[in-house]
Chain A
C-alpha cells in the first residue's frame, strides 16, 4: 500500500513536470512560430481575425522586400505595399551586425582564454577575481550607455568612435568579457593539471604545451563561448541604439523601425527580417548542440 501510494505520487510528479514543460515550451515557441508564419503572409492577412494559423496566400514577398539591396528598399519589386519606399533593407544591417558581432566575440574570446588560463593556473587577481568580474556585469547597461556616449562623442575621436564599428566593438568586448572569462575558466578548470605537468615533465615549454595539450582540449569550450558572446552581441539593442543608429544600423535597431505611413506597422517584412536574424543563432546552436549543456552549466555542477 505504502509503496503504491509512493509510486502514485512519483507518477503525479512526473505528470506535473511534463505538463509544466509542455506549457512552457508552447509559451516560448509560439512567438517564433507566429513570426515565421507571418513572414510568409501577404499584408491583408497580418491583422486577419480570426487569425490565420497558416498563411492562406503563401508569399515570398516579405523576404524580397527586406532582402532588396540598397537602403530604403529601392529596387523593391513589391506592388502590394504602398509604403514600399519606406521598407528598410535587411542586407546592410545584417552585414554590419555580422562584422561587429564576429569581431567583438573573437576579441573577447582571445582575451578571455588568456585571462581565464591565468586565473586558473596562476591565481591571477586573487581568490575572488571571478566573482568580482561577474559583479561588473550586474551593472545595468544603461549606466554604461550614457557615459560612453558622452566620451565617444568628444571631438578628438568622435569620428572613430561615434556611429562606427569601433564604437560598438569596444563596449561589446567590455560587456561580454566577464561572461566569456567565466565560461572559459570553467572549461580550463576541467583540464587536469596533471596533463600539463606530464607535458612539462617531458620537456615541453609553455607554448608547445599550450598548442598541443591545452588548445585542443578547450576547443569545444572556445566554440561554445564564442557562440554565447555572439548571441549577446547579435541581439544587443540599447548600446547599438544609443551609440550608433544613424550611419551604422544594426539588426536589432533596424528591426525596431518597421513602420509605413499607410499600412502602419510592417509586420510581414519585420517578421521576415526577424526570421532571417535568428537563422545564424539557430545554425550555430545546432552546430555545437552536443557541447551546449556543458558550456551553459558554467562548470557550476562540479565542485
Chain B
C-alpha cells in the first residue's frame, strides 16, 4: 500500500525557492507524471520523496506515515535514475542482485529472483556483461530490473528514457506502461516531454517555477487548461494565441482582434467582461479552413505535410501566423487566400495580464 501525499512541500536552495508549496495526493497504484520545463523543480520534488533532499517546509507521507526523517533505504521505494546509475564495476547480475544482497537474502533466493525478473524483462542473456557493454535499451531494461527485483511499493523515475533515441523511447513507453499494469504499484514519473506525459499518465501534475499549475487526467489538461502556460505546454504544434479584447454584441460576447472577429458562446452573457484585454487560444486542429469562414482570413505562407495531416500556416494579421492542422486530402497552395472558422466551443480565453483562464 503506498499512497504518497505531499503537503505544502517546499525546498529552498539558499534564497532560491526550487519547490514552492506543492500539495498533491498520489493514489495507490496510480501512474502519476510530473511534467514541466527544465528547472521547474521536478527532480527536486522527486528527491524529497526519495529522501535525497530534506524538505525545507511541508511533509512527505508514504502510506500515511510522515517520512521526512527516514533514510531513502527505509522508505520502500525504488528509483530509476536519469543516468540509470548502473554500477560500472559489477556485472548485470550483481547490479540486479545488489538490493537483495544488501538485505542479506540467501544466495539461492537471490539467484532465483534475479533469474525470474530477467526472464520477464528479456535480459537473461546479458547477466554476465558489464554496464559498459550494453546498448542504451538494454541498459534501460537492466536499470528497471534492478528496481523491480526489490519489489518496492512505489517506483520513482526521473526522465528514465531521455538518453534513448526516439524510436526506442516510444517502445520503452509502452513497455513501462505494461510493467505498471502487471505490477500494480504506484509510479511517479518525471519528464519534460509533454507527449510522454500524455501517453503514459493516469494523472499529470504540470509544474512551473516550483509550483504545481494543474493536476488532472491527460485529456482534461489538454482540453481544459487552467492557464496559458498549461495550454501552451501540451500539443504539437502548440496552441495558437491571439491577442485582442472582449466586446459585447447583441447580448452576448465576441472576441475581437485587429483582424479577427469571433462570436463566443457562453452560458450566460457576461457584460462585466466587455472591454477586457484577453488572449484567445485555439488548437491547430480546431481551426477549419472553409469557404467563407467567419473567424477571419489570410494568406497561406507555409505548408508542412506530416503524412496523414498537414500543417498550414496562415498569415492573418497577428504577430505570428496561425497554425492549422488539416486532413492531408485538403489541398491548399502557398500564397493562396483562405478563410477559416474555429470549431464551436473549442476556443479558450485567458486574461492578458494574469494569463489565467477566463471561463464564460
Residues from chain B with a CB closer than 8 A to the CB of A199 are 87, 98, 102
Cα(A203)–Cα(B149), bound, Å: 13
Residues from chain B with a CB closer than 8 A to the CB of A217 are 88-89
How many residues of chain B get a CB closer than 8 Å to chain A's CBs? 23
CB <8 Å contact, B102 and A203: yes
Given known pairs A195-B87, A208-B102, the reply for A202 and B81 (CB within 8 Å) is no
Residues from chain A with a CB closer than 8 A to the CB of B78 are 201
CB <8 Å contact, A213 and B102: no
| Residue of A200, A201, A208, A213 touching B87 (CB-CB under 8 A) | A213
Cα(A197)–Cα(B156), bound, Å: 13
**Is A216 an interface residue, CB under 8 A from the partner?**
yes
Q: Which of A201, A208, A212, A217 has the most CB of B within 10 A?
A: A201
**Is B298 an interface residue, CB under 8 A from the partner?**
no
Given known pairs A198-B79, A201-B72, A204-B73, the reply for A192 and B85 (CB within 8 Å) is yes
**What distance in Å separates the Cβ of A41 from its nearest Cβ neighbour in chain B?**
50
CB <8 Å contact, A194 and B98: no
| Residue of A195, A201, A208 touching B77 (CB-CB under 8 A) | A201
CB <8 Å contact, A201 and B89: no
Cα(A205)–Cα(B103), bound, Å: 11
**Is B291 an interface residue, CB under 8 A from the partner?**
no
CB <8 Å contact, B73 and A201: yes
Cα(A203)–Cα(B71), bound, Å: 8
**Is B150 an interface residue, CB under 8 A from the partner?**
yes
**Is B63 an interface residue, CB under 8 A from the partner?**
no
Residues from chain B with a CB closer than 8 A to the CB of A216 are 89
Q: How many A-B residue pairs have CB under 8 A?
A: 55
**Is B83 an interface residue, CB under 8 A from the partner?**
yes
**What distance in Å separates the Cβ of B75 from its nearest Cβ neighbour in chain A?**
8
Cα(A210)–Cα(B73), bound, Å: 15
Residues from chain B with a CB closer than 8 A to the CB of A198 are 79, 81, 85, 87, 146
Residues from chain A with a CB closer than 8 A to the CB of B71 are 200
CB <8 Å contact, B98 and A197: no
Residues from chain B with a CB closer than 8 A to the CB of A208 are 102
Interface residues of B in 56-102 (CB under 8 A from A): 71-74, 77-79, 81-83, 85, 87-89, 98-99, 102
| Residue of A192, A195, A202, A213 touching B99 (CB-CB under 8 A) | A202
Cα(A195)–Cα(B89), bound, Å: 11
**What distance in Å separates the Cβ of A2 from its nearest Cβ neighbour in chain B?**
38
Q: Which of A204, A205, A208, A216 has the most CB of B within 10 A?
A: A204
**What distance in Å separates the Cβ of B74 from its nearest Cβ neighbour in chain A?**
8
**What distance in Å separates the Cβ of A192 from its nearest Cβ neighbour in chain B?**
6
Given known pairs A194-B81, A197-B81, A198-B79, the reply for A203 and B73 (CB within 8 Å) is yes
CB <8 Å contact, B73 and A202: yes
**Is B50 an interface residue, CB under 8 A from the partner?**
yes
CB <8 Å contact, B79 and A201: yes
Cα(A119)–Cα(B52), bound, Å: 18
Residues from chain B with a CB closer than 8 A to the CB of A204 are 73, 98, 102
Residues from chain A with a CB closer than 8 A to the CB of B88 are 217
**What distance in Å separates the Cβ of A201 from its nearest Cβ neighbour in chain B?**
5
**What distance in Å separates the Cβ of A104 from its nearest Cβ neighbour in chain B?**
29
Interface residues of B in 138-188 (CB under 8 A from A): 146, 150
Cα(A212)–Cα(B89), bound, Å: 9
Residues from chain A with a CB closer than 8 A to the CB of B102 are 199, 202-204, 208
**What distance in Å separates the Cβ of B14 from its nearest Cβ neighbour in chain A?**
12
Interface residues of A in 189-227 (CB under 8 A from B): 192, 194-195, 197-205, 208, 212-213, 216-217
Residues from chain B with a CB closer than 8 A to the CB of A197 are 50, 52, 72, 79, 81, 85
**What distance in Å separates the Cβ of A210 from its nearest Cβ neighbour in chain B?**
13
Cα(A194)–Cα(B47), bound, Å: 11
Cα(A85)–Cα(B77), bound, Å: 76
**What distance in Å separates the Cβ of A42 from its nearest Cβ neighbour in chain B?**
54
Q: A200-B51, A204-B73, A204-B102 are in contact. List 11 more A-B contacts (CB 8 A).
A: A197-B72, A198-B81, A198-B87, A199-B98, A200-B71, A201-B50, A202-B98, A202-B146, A212-B98, A213-B87, A217-B89
Which B residues are within 8 Å of any A CB, using their own CB? 50-52, 71-74, 77-79, 81-83, 85, 87-89, 98-99, 102-103, 146, 150
Which A residues are within 8 Å of any B CB, using their own CB? 192, 194-195, 197-205, 208, 212-213, 216-217
Pick 19 A–B contacts, CB within 8 A, sort by A: A192-B85, A194-B81, A194-B82, A195-B87, A197-B50, A198-B81, A198-B85, A198-B146, A199-B87, A199-B98, A199-B102, A200-B71, A200-B72, A200-B73, A201-B79, A202-B98, A204-B98, A212-B87, A213-B87
Q: Which 4 A-B pairs have the closest CB atoms?
A: A202-B99, A203-B73, A194-B85, A198-B85
